[in-house]
Amino acid sequence: MTTAFDEYMRPGKRGYLIGIGGVSMAPLAEVLHGEGLSITGSDIQHSDKVIHLESLGIRVNIGHDAANITPELDFVIRTAAARDDNPEVRAAREMNIPVFERTQAWGALMKRYKNALCIAGTHGKTTTTSMCTHILMAAEKDPTVMIGGTLPLLHAGHRVGSGDTIVMESCEYYDSFLAFYPTIAVILDIDADHLDYFADLEAIKASFRRFARLVSPGGTVIANRDDANTMSALADLDRPMLTFGLTPEADVQAVNIISKGAQTDFDVLYRGQPFTHLHLQVPGLHNVKNALAAAAAAITLGISPTAVKYGLAGFQGANRRFEFKGKFNGADVYDDYSHHPGELQALLDAVEPLGYKRVILVFQPHTYSRTRALFGEFVRQLQRPDLTILAEIYAARETNTLGISSASLAKEIPGSIFRPTFDEIETILRASIQPGDLVLTVGAGDVYKIGEDLVASGK
């Protein structure tokens, strides 16, 4: 597609969004509608997001059907899950209607802002984007925000502001973030993931380097000084760079770190000089680093230390990021989106010092390809809890052509339990949970429903 989406950003243009109820598609539809474009779309099912869009006057078809695509449409935008064989994509192309990726549309919108803060990395994107949002709101910058999850502060995963700053969670999968136009590009870390698309770690690093080089003249790349893959990928980069981390070599550094249960206090130094003191209400060193990345972004934007301090003091996490769901039989039930071994490690590192009697982990692997590619690393992390219960793999966009199952993991993890249905897992949990336990439902699929059912039944 050589046509730029910019030329369609005019009132009266008619667009159709495939997968309009998605995390990034729903706010895109709302923003385009607010710009005066005529927007319709489709999704596979009704949802709260679809209902909200319909309340704005945006018509949504349930199900994908070629008949939904009509000649008067000026363009179609598709979600990443809508591949070339999608009937609506095929129909649009048969009618010579331009088909854009959602990131192309967001990229065109991004150009309208003086500051485009793009948060990338294999892990931590949602949390760091949320932290940046808290800081920008505390600084009264009235930002436009796009997050890959719900932020309690916004009661949504997005916000349409009238300020000069947009903050955008930026995903590397399918090189999506290469359609963006960052003035500030944050790279939190680089790890092997999405190996159904990338050939290997070196291909992933090359993609992140291309992302960093998208930074506009006068912009800044913010990079994790503690992460060897990130620093290797950005070696000799011809862009201004600001680093963060725990090492003294980092431009933005955390010192005097004190953990108190799920809370963490530390001082932030900027190039060796005191910048601010932070009090986080989320546990773990990974969140200290996420906060440092957000502080580095704030420094680049000229935001005051006071706004950073108070913005992050009010941050209690994004939904599905160590989110407290309630109690069952005297145990605390939390949910977390971790679906990569590196994220599991960070989560378990964070909860082990919290003093619970036992850690019970209910894990739902996400995609067959990731489970196979990172099998050994999953086994190492899943051996750590006192009890690991495995749900079946959440297929997401895939079909199981690899012949792999969560039962394959269970065979390698002593004492673990595999059950194919949520009902069976809940039965085991009801019989196992004791006062003082920590119960974690973990994964990027629908495993959170198990914890919610337990909490509801215990009230």
Same domain (yes/no): 394, 273? no
Same domain (yes/no): 302, 333? no
| pLDDT band at residue 2 under the 50/70/90 scheme | very low
Same domain (yes/no): 182, 290? yes
pLDDT tens digits, 255-293 = 999 998 889 999 999 999 999 999 999 999 999 999 999
> Which phi and psi (to 5°) does residue 294 adopt?
-65, -40
> CATH number of the domain that 59 lies in?
3.40.50.720
Q: CB of 388 within 8 A of CB of 380? A: no
pLDDT tens digits, 220-249 = 999 999 999 999 999 999 999 999 999 999
pLDDT tens digits, 160-196 = 888 999 999 999 988 999 999 999 999 999 999 998 9
Q: Token pair of 379, please?
A: 């086994």
Active-site annotation holds for 169: yes
Tell whether 106 is covered by a domain: no
Tell whether 318 is covered by a domain: no
% residues pLDDT > 90 (the chain): 85
Radius of gyration of the chain from Cα atoms?
Answer: 22
pLDDT tens digits, 382-402 = 999 999 999 999 998 789 999
Active-site hit among 30, 88, 169, 392: 169
398: burial class by Cβ within 10 Å (0-12, 13-18, 19+)?
A: middle
Number of domains in the chain: 3
Tell whether 4 is covered by a domain: no
Tell whether 439 is covered by a domain: yes
Active-site annotation holds for 54: no
> CATH number of the domain that 167 lies in?
3.40.1190.10
Instruction: State residue 22's pLDDT score.
Output: 86
Same domain (yes/no): 276, 390? no
Give the pLDDT mean for 299-314.
97
85 pLDDT above the threshold of 60 = yes
Instruction: State residue 4's pLDDT score.
Output: 87
Active-site hit among 49, 88, 125, 289: 125
Instruction: State residue 108's pLDDT score.
Output: 92
Tell whether 1 is covered by a domain: no
Neighbours of 242 (CB within 10 A): 21
Give the pLDDT mean for 405-409.
97
Same domain (yes/no): 401, 432? yes
% residues pLDDT > 70 (the chain): 99
Tell whether 5 is covered by a domain: no
33 pLDDT above the threshold of 60 = yes
Tell whether 370 is covered by a domain: yes
Tell whether 257 is covered by a domain: yes
Same domain (yes/no): 243, 160? yes
pTM comes to 0.87
- Domain end, chosen from 101, 121, 149, is at 101
Active-site hit among 126, 144, 150, 276: 126
d(CA 250, CA 241): 11
Instruction: State residue 1's pLDDT score.
Output: 38
Same domain (yes/no): 218, 147? yes
Give the pLDDT mean for 426-452.
96
Same domain (yes/no): 199, 260? yes
Active-site annotation holds for 141: no
DSSP 312-365: HHT----TTSSEEEEEETTEEEEEE---SHHHHHHHHHHHGGG--SEEEEEE--
Which residue range(s) make up the domain with 45? Answer: 11-101
| pLDDT band at residue 3 under the 50/70/90 scheme | low
Same domain (yes/no): 120, 90? no
Q: Token pair of 450, please?
A: 């198990």
